[in-house]
Chains A and B, each alone.
Chain A
Amino acid sequence: MLTVKDLQATVGDKAILKGLSLDVPAGQVHAIMGPNGAGKSTLSYVLTGREGYAVTGGSATLEGENLLALAADERAARGVFLSFQYPLEIPGVPALTFIRTAMNAQRKARGEAEITAPEFLKLARQKASELKIDFDMLKRALNVGFSGGEKKRMEIFQMAMLSPRFMILDETDSGLDIDALRIVADGVNALRSPDRGMLVITHYQRLLDYIKPDRVHVLAGGRIVASGGPELALELEREGYERYEKAA
Chain B
Amino acid sequence: MSVAAAINTRDASALPGKRDEDWRWTDLRGLIRAIPDPSEPFAGDVGRGPFDGLAEDRRVLVNGGETRIDVAAGQKAVVALRVLARGAGSHATMVAVTLGPNARVRLLESYESDGGSVSQTTLSITLADGAVLERVVLAQDHEHAVSVSQAEVRLAPRADYAQTVAASGARRQRLETRVTHPGGHAVLRLDGVYLLAGKRHSDQTTVVTHQNIDGTTAQLTKGVVRDQARGVFQGRIVVAEGADRTDARMGHHALILSDRAEVDAKPELEIYADDVSCAHGNTVGALDEDALFYARQRGMPAGVATAMLTEAFIGEVIDRISFEGARDVVRAWAAERLGG
Contact = CB atoms under 8 A, between A and B. Distances in A.
Name, among A73, A97, A101, A158, the residue most crowded by chain B CB atoms within 10 Å (CB to CB). A73
A20 to B, nearest CB: 20
Nearest to A103: B299
A92 B313 contact: yes
Interface string B270-285: 0000000000000000
Nearest to B304: A105
Interface stretch (A82-90, A188-196, A199-207, A235-243): A82-90
A106 B300 CA distance: 7
Contacts of A84: 294, 297
Interface in A65-94: 71-73, 75-77, 81-82, 84, 87-88, 90-93
A71 B293 CA distance: 11
A80 to B, nearest CB: 8
Contacts of B289: 51
Contacts of B298: 76, 81, 98-99, 102, 105-106, 158, 162
Nearest to B319: A92
Nearest to A86: B290
A109 interface: yes
B314 to A, nearest CB: 8
A98 B308 contact: yes
A50 B293 contact: yes
Contacts of B294: 84, 87-88, 90
B315 interface: yes
A101 B308 contact: yes
Interface string A184-227: 00000000000000000000000000000000000000000000
Given A92-B316, A105-B304, A82 B296 contact: no
Contacts of B151: none
A51 B293 contact: yes
B300 A102 contact: yes
B59 to A, nearest CB: 34
Contacts of A87: 294
A59 interface: no
B296 A73 contact: yes
A48 B298 CA distance: 10
Given A51-B289, A92-B316, A98 B299 contact: no
Contacts of A88: 288, 290-291, 294
A16 B291 CA distance: 23
A105 B293 contact: no
A76 B290 CA distance: 16
Given A71-B296, A101-B308, A90 B301 contact: no
A50 to B, nearest CB: 5
Nearest to A79: B299
Contacts of B301: 71, 73, 105, 109
15 contacts: A71-B296, A71-B301, A72-B297, A73-B296, A73-B300, A77-B299, A81-B298, A84-B297, A91-B316, A92-B311, A92-B313, A105-B298, A105-B299, A106-B298, A162-B298
Interface of B: 288-291, 293-302, 304-305, 308-309, 311-313, 315-316
Smallest CB-CB A-B distances: 10 pairs: A92-B312, A102-B298, A106-B299, A76-B299, A72-B296, A88-B294, A73-B296, A102-B299, A105-B300, A93-B312
